[in-house]
């Protein structure tokens, strides 16, 4: 049976997340999941000549989002939000990176051809008036207007310093530059980290002005500045490089965040777990074990290490039973559950929420 307590409530979820950020527990852990569409999605039909045209069509993107958000009920702590998006390399574009567009993502056309190109990079200022940035700004403005108080606009996808450098140079070439010109790359990473900070401030300020509650692609809630620091690039480098060269730029990026959850992505990144757990001010860990490396219950030791270090965790569970196994193993305090499989109907969602609550009492 579906009750009001099963449906999303902004005030209740904000309180639940506030406890989770602190490693505490309100009534149960925050839980987010998606339901299969209960109604047809009556969004606009693309008749764009190119994929780039479709990605840049602000009205099309916002109306498509509104149709999708309206097509299903929102339950638990599944924040009903949409993230304006042109792909994961947005933060490389202020330094001249050009994006190539696929059906569901985009990637950089690398623009720094030689190691010496970092010297010019260090003398450049980020251009937040480029076409990609203008498109995101326009999407934020229109979405806030069209969504009203029904749905929320999320912080765009922002990747940090070494991912910015990898977008501009290419990850393999950046690895070689670290060996050939470590001091130059270090300076470039700190320059990129400052630009990341400016990007974050701009978006946070605008979304706050528009009355948005504070969320992003991995939905959480916090009324102040919060985000998801990360470094996908460091899967390619040693623990020593991660600690000595990459960590300082991450700390710069985190310095303005009241709340943060680190996105640690893939088994190759696990060697950097101790570096992540030692980050001052970090509140939580999102461990993404990747396709073929699950279920989440396989990684209970990672979750326990995080909780023991005083960091909350986001569990990306493959099934309902996987989520409940983790909850039984580590307890509910400091735990947030994201179910990565869809549930068929609201009744299944209500049942899942009830089981989580029972295990939390």
Rounded Cα distance, 152 and 80, in Å: 6
**With contact defined as beta carbons under 8 Å apart, do 86 and 135 qualify?**
yes
Instruction: Quickly tell me which residue has 């999320």 as its tokens.
Output: 154
Q: Is residue 46 part of a domain?
A: no
- What is this structure's pTM? 0.96
Confidence at residue 41, expressed as pLDDT on a 0 to 100 scale: 85
Task: Compute, in degrees rounded to 10, the torsion defined by CA atoms 308, 311, 312, 317.
Answer: -70
Average pLDDT, the chain: 97
The token pair at 137 is 């700004």
Q: What number is the average pLDDT over the span 183-202? A: 98
Region for residue 316 given its phi and psi (left: phi exceeds 0; alpha: psi -120 to 50; beta: otherwise): beta
In sign, the C-alpha dihedral spanning 182, 188, 194, 196 is negative
DSSP string for 166-183: HHHH-HHHHHHHHHH-HH
The CATH number linked to 167 is: 3.20.20.210
Question: Would you say residue 327 lies in a domain?
Answer: yes
- Asked whether residue 35 is assigned to any structural domain, the reply reads yes
pLDDT level of residue 176 (50, 70, 90 thresholds): very high
pLDDT band at 153 (very low <50, low <70, confident <90, very high): very high
| Average pLDDT of the residues in 147-173 | 97
Average the pLDDT over 182-192 and give the result: 98
- Residue of 281, 184, 266 lying closest to 231 (CA atoms): 266
| 3-class DSSP assignment, residue 336 | strand
For residue 45, tell me if it sits in a domain. Answer: no
Output the 3-class SS for 77-125. Answer: CCCCEECCCCCCCHHHHHHCCEEEECCCCEEEECCCCCCCHHHHHHCCC
pLDDT higher than threshold 90 for residue 36 = no
Q: How do the residues of the chain divide into helix, strand and coil, expressed in percent and rounded to 5?
A: 50, 10, 40
User: Structurally, how many domains does the chain consist of?
Assistant: 1
Residue numbers of the domain that contains 355:
4-39+51-360
Is the pLDDT at 42 greater than 90, yes or no?
no
Is residue 72 assigned to a domain? yes
Answer yes or no: is 147 within a domain.
yes
- For the segment 222-250, the average pLDDT, to the nearest whole number, is 97
In a domain, 257, yes or no: yes
């Amino acid at each position: 049976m579906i009750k009001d307590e099963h449906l999303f409530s902004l005030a209740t979820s904000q309180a639940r997340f506030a406890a989770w950020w602190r490693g505490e527990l309100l009534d149960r852990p925050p839980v987010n999941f998606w339901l299969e569409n209960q109604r047809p999605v009556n969004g606009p039909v693309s008749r764009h000549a190119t994929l780039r045209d479709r990605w840049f069509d602000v009205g099309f993107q916002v109306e498509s989002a509104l149709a999708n958000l309206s097509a299903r009920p929102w339950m638990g702590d599944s924040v009903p939000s949409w993230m304006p998006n042109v792909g994961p390399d947005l933060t490389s574009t202020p330094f001249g990176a050009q994006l190539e567009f696929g059906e569901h993502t985009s990637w950089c056309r690398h623009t720094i051809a030689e190691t010496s190109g970092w010297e010019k990079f260090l003398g450049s200022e980020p251009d937040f008036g480029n076409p990609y940035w203008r498109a995101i700004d326009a999407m934020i403005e229109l979405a806030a207007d069209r969504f009203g108080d029904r749905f929320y606009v999320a912080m765009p996808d922002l990747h940090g310093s070494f991912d910015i450098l990898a977008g501009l140079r290419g990850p393999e070439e950046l690895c070689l530059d670290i060996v050939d010109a470590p001091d130059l790359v270090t300076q470039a990473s700190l320059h990129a980290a400052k630009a990341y900070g400016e990007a974050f401030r701009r978006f946070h300020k605008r979304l706050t002005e528009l009355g948005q509650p504070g969320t992003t692609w991995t939905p959480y809630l916090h009324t102040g500045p919060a985000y998801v620091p990360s470094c996908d690039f460091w899967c390619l480098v040693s623990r020593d490089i991660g600690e000595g060269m990459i960590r300082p730029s991450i700390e710069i990026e985190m310095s303005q965040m009241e709340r943060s959850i680190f996105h640690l992505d893939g088994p190759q990144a696990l060697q950097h777990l101790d570096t992540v757990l030692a980050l001052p001010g970090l509140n939580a860990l999102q461990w993404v074990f990747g396709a073929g490396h699950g279920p989440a219950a396989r990684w209970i030791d990672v979750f326990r290490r995080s909780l023991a270090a005083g960091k909350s965790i986001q569990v990306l569970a493959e099934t309902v039973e996987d989520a409940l196994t983790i909850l039984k193993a580590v307890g509910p305090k400091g735990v947030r559950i994201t179910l990565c499989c869809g549930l068929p109907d609201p009744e299944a969602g209500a049942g899942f929420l009830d089981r989580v609550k029972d295990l939390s009492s």
